[in-house]
Amino acid sequence: MFSGPYTAFMRILIRGPTVIQRPGGGVVPHADVVIEGRRYEAIVSRGGVDGEFDRVVNGEGCLLVPGLVNAHTHLAMTLFRGLAPDLSLDRWLGEEIWPREKKLTAKDVYWGSLLGLAEMIGCGTTALVDMYFFMDEVAQAVEEAGLRALLSYGIIAPTPHQIGPEIQEAERFVREWDGTAEGRIRTALAPHSPTTCLPEVWHRIAELAREAHVPIHTHLAETATEVEQIRAEQKKSPTEWLEELGVFSVPVIAAHCVHIGEKDIEILAAHGATSVHCPTSNLKLACGIAPVQEMLDGGVNVALGTDGAASAGDLNLIEEMRIASLLAKVRAGRPEALSAAETLRCATARGATALGLGKELGTIEPGRRADGVLISMRGLHFCPGYDPLVDLVYAGQGSDVEAVFVDGRPLLVEGEFLTLDVEEIRGRCRQLSRRFR
Ligand SMILES: [Zn+2]
């Protein structure tokens, strides 16, 4: 299925969409959008461009928004989707997921990742942040799918003898894959969480991340139990503890941040860390509701993620936006919290910042990388259509996605997948899943 590097960059015209250039500003109705190679060249009023195009995509009745960034996931966990529902995080991981993960092979992870990538493309995701194992296969799948990704080997080292081999593998992955797939794949170092890695791991990873100029990706303050355990052992919160260990000396992408206080928010903000809000996973595992509006008010960059499909059910970031916004309002006790525009910003520009690509992605402007999603507004749930951004966040469906572009390359047009054979992926995953029942 692997077709080699993509070099056939094209001149593409997207005819007629309403363009949300950036959440909260810059809406161009009935536009013509020109993509030249990897970048947006022009966004002008309909009929304002002429010339030759390699491909013309019909965007009439559609909305064009910046590419959605899923800032925390475990792609291959699609293979465990629907297994062991309705359990607490500790029981879910310890009794159901970890024993099955021991049985996973490289081939499982490859096909499970392709399933996750296809699902993401179908719902408008253009970039993702992943942490897992058999990461060579994850990276190969990302390369073939054509998405953009920040990938990392998840280090689990609660005992001293695991530290050496785990760090070695994480480092090897960074060395071999950073900057590959025409620059679409970047890497990170990923100690799994404060309770699954010894202090020495954090020290060494912070040092290695500084040397390799890569970020650290981890789970942080996901459950009350984690916070209690670290408080009992270290007499401080997990965030304070990681700061003391030097972890925040590099850019940090911290998934969840459900159980954090004012001081933790100050630490995250002071170091320019990203907190990745994964509301569906937090709800399904009953972890709690993250203080998203408080983090934003405190100056923290908040991005959105789904987490793995086994804990979230699906990898649909459009659905995640609505849940995030609604939950933030309930948590804050005021409907102004996480407005529609801010929610879309969390799913786009703030995700781009998490990737370290805030100046390249996250808005639709000439010169920016051409990552974008064309969303049909023909569904009844977009009628009458006063404000397409508001309708997208509060009424949009993943199935409204019509086309997806990454680096100027179309990955999905009129609902047709251009880089992946989804029927083959479905068949392989069904077959492989029999061993995990
Ligand atoms: Zn996770």
How many angstroms does the Cα of residue 128 sit away from the middle of ligand 1?
Answer: 12
pLDDT value at 253 more than 70: yes
How many angstroms does the Cα of residue 420 sit away from the middle of ligand 1?
Answer: 25
Q: Which residues pair with 85 in a beta bridge?
A: none
How many angstroms does the Cα of residue 17 sit away from the middle of ligand 1?
Answer: 35
Q: Where are the beta strands (DSSP E) in 54-184?
A: 55-58, 62-66, 68-73, 125-132, 148-155
pLDDT value at 2 more than 70: no
The CA-atom distances, in angstroms, between 299 and each of 4, 28, 264 are 42, 29, 12
How many angstroms does the Cα of residue 21 sit away from the middle of ligand 1?
Answer: 30
How many angstroms does the Cα of residue 4 sit away from the middle of ligand 1?
Answer: 30
pLDDT in tens, 126-174: 999 999 999 999 999 999 999 999 999 999 999 999 999 999 999 999 9
How many angstroms does the Cα of residue 88 sit away from the middle of ligand 1?
Answer: 14
pTM: 0.97
Exposed, middle or buried, 50 (CB in 10 Å: 0-12/13-18/19+)? exposed
Q: What CA–CA distance (Å, rounded) separates 283 from 293?
A: 17
pLDDT of residue 40: 97
Please state, as a whole number, how many other Cβ atoms lie within 10 Å of the Cβ of residue 133.
Answer: 21
How many angstroms does the Cα of residue 287 sit away from the middle of ligand 1?
Answer: 12
Q: What CA–CA distance (Å, rounded) separates 55 from 234?
A: 59
DSSP string, 258-272: -S--HHHHHHHHHTT
How many angstroms does the Cα of residue 77 sit away from the middle of ligand 1?
Answer: 10
The mean pLDDT value for 361-384 works out to 97
How many angstroms does the Cα of residue 196 sit away from the middle of ligand 1?
Answer: 13
Q: Is 99 helix (H, G, I), strand (E, B) or coil?
A: helix
How many angstroms does the Cα of residue 335 sit away from the middle of ligand 1?
Answer: 28
How many angstroms does the Cα of residue 274 sit away from the middle of ligand 1?
Answer: 14
pLDDT of residue 6: 65
Q: Which of 75-89, 209-223, 372-386 has the lowest mean pLDDT?
A: 75-89
The mean pLDDT value for 209-221 works out to 98
Contact between residue 15 and residue 58 where contact means Cβ atoms under 8 Å apart: yes
The mean pLDDT value for 67-75 works out to 98
pLDDT value at 351 more than 70: yes
Q: What CA–CA distance (Å, rounded) separates 170 from 152?
A: 7
Please state which CATH class domain 11-67+364-417 belongs to: mainly beta
How many angstroms does the Cα of residue 262 sit away from the middle of ligand 1?
Answer: 23
How many angstroms does the Cα of residue 169 sit away from the middle of ligand 1?
Answer: 19
Domain ranges of the chain: 11-67+364-417, 68-354
Contact between residue 59 and residue 374 where contact means Cβ atoms under 8 Å apart: yes
Q: Which residues pair with 253 in a beta bridge?
A: 217, 274
How many angstroms does the Cα of residue 113 sit away from the middle of ligand 1?
Answer: 15
How many angstroms does the Cα of residue 28 sit away from the middle of ligand 1?
Answer: 37
How many angstroms does the Cα of residue 308 sit away from the middle of ligand 1?
Answer: 6
pLDDT in tens, 101-138: 999 999 999 999 999 999 999 999 999 999 999 999 99
Query: Which residue in the block uniquely carries the two structure tokens 């020290």?
Result: 203
What is the residue-averaged pLDDT of the chain?
Answer: 95
Q: How sure is the predictor about 190, in pLDDT bands with cuts at 50, 70 and 90? A: very high
pLDDT value at 422 more than 80: yes
Q: How sure is the predictor about 5, in pLDDT bands with cuts at 50, 70 and 90? A: low
The mean pLDDT value for 389-404 works out to 97
State the greatest distance between any 2 C-alpha atoms of the chain, in Å, as a whole number.
67
How many angstroms does the Cα of residue 305 sit away from the middle of ligand 1?
Answer: 9
pLDDT value at 260 more than 90: yes
Contact between residue 338 and residue 292 where contact means Cβ atoms under 8 Å apart: yes
pLDDT of residue 421: 98
Residue 408: left if φ>0, alpha if ψ -120 to 50, beta else—which one?
left
Contact between residue 143 and residue 208 where contact means Cβ atoms under 8 Å apart: no
Q: Using alpha carbons only, what angle is made at residue 118 by residues 152 and 354, rounded to the nearest 5 degrees?
A: 40
How many angstroms does the Cα of residue 219 sit away from the middle of ligand 1?
Answer: 6
Up-side HSE of residue 275: CA atoms within 13 Å toward CB? 32
Q: What CA–CA distance (Å, rounded) separates 410 from 158?
A: 43
pLDDT of residue 48: 82
Distance from the first to the final alpha carbon of the chain: 28
Nearest to 286 by CA among 88, 84, 82, 80: 88
The percent of residues above 90 in pLDDT, for the chain, comes to: 92
How many angstroms does the Cα of residue 307 sit away from the middle of ligand 1?
Answer: 5
Residue 127: CB partners within 8 Å, gap ≥ 6?
Answer: 67, 68, 69, 70, 147, 148, 149, 150, 351, 352, 355, 361, 371, 406
How many angstroms does the Cα of residue 278 sit away from the middle of ligand 1?
Answer: 9
The CA-atom distances, in angstroms, between 190 and each of 1, 150, 167 are 29, 11, 9
Q: What CA–CA distance (Å, rounded) separates 178 from 307?
A: 22
Contact between residue 113 and residue 142 where contact means Cβ atoms under 8 Å apart: yes
> Could you tell me which residue, 94 or 213, shows the higher pLDDT?
213
How many angstroms does the Cα of residue 73 sit away from the middle of ligand 1?
Answer: 6
How many angstroms does the Cα of residue 378 sit away from the middle of ligand 1?
Answer: 34
How many angstroms does the Cα of residue 261 sit away from the middle of ligand 1?
Answer: 21
CATH 3.20.20.140, domain 68-354, yes or no: yes
pLDDT of residue 4: 52
Q: What CA–CA distance (Å, rounded) separates 336 from 84?
A: 36
